[in-house]
Amino acid sequence: MNNVNARDYEPTPSRQVAFLGLGVMGYPMAGHLALAGHAVTVYNRTPAKAAAWCAEFARSRAPRQADTPRQAALGADLVFCCVGNDADLRSVALGESLGGGARGADGAFAGMKPGAVFVDHTTASADVARELHAAAGEGGLYFVDAPVSGGQAGAQNGQLTVMCGGEAAAFEAARPVAMAFSRAFTLMGASGAGQLTKMVNQIAVAGLVQGLAEAIAFGQHAGLDMGLVLEVISKGAAQSWQMDHRGKTMVADQFDFGFAVDWMRKDLGLVLDEARRNGARLPATALIDQFYADVQRMGGNRWDTSSLIKRLR
């Protein structure tokens, strides 16, 4: 099955790149890089997924599969990464055997040439971003934390919003290539700023989804035609991306797509950890995180985040 929807690509000079992690986000993101004409080497913890990706994009510029992150990074100008969490990120960047900041034999940093840029699209902590930024700098490399928003559909359509932290020079080197899968690619500040911006995004999303869930549940209990209600109120101050893209599916009790509850709980855990460090007060976010825990207990780990409404029915 083709995981990448067709789009137009801005002409950019072809680069040698690597992509580490071919999950529901990374697979189509790497595909857009290949279709844009870049020479892409991929690594995935499950080799069969990388083999399938290479077969799907065999008509692009000789895609290659690597056995380790280090092999994938050899000779690359840019190394893109999209994995699960802080531990996974350290593993692919620094090597499986490492517990600290030195290079490991199998980590991508060990294979990267001086001056190459590692662009991390994982939603991770700001602390690990700063840690890997420092480790990269010690080896003459660059590290950009660049979490994304837009979900699986955004990755497939090449329309992700990317929030970056790091040096301006590294950002500028990555931006024209990353625009193959992005609609916006913005430098937010120093190392860690991308991850912190993603946390702001997730706080806002959680509140919007809970508000929409309560509104729909209220309307249904009141006997209203919620399809008509949403059509009307989406033209006013209540309008949001969540209402436009998830309102009707929430009414229809459909939650088999989009951003999974497990992922949102991971992200909100990062948010709440950071808030404890910086002193921010997030009472609504903490409560909604527990609401998502309720959904997990209902068996909704892989349901879309709009499944918050299930608690209210």
Catalytic residue among 49, 113, 198, 235: 198
Place of tokens 């590290």: 143
Catalytic annotation on 198? yes
Sign of the alpha-carbon dihedral angle for 74, 78, 80, 86: positive
Place of tokens 């207990």: 297
Q: Which of 24, 51, 57, 52 is nearest to 40 (CA)?
A: 57
The C-alpha atoms of residue 36 and residue 22 are separated, in whole angstroms, by 18
The C-alpha atoms of residue 18 and residue 40 are separated, in whole angstroms, by 5
Q: Which of 25, 53, 24, 23 is nearest to 40 (CA)?
A: 53
**Active site positions, annotated:** 198
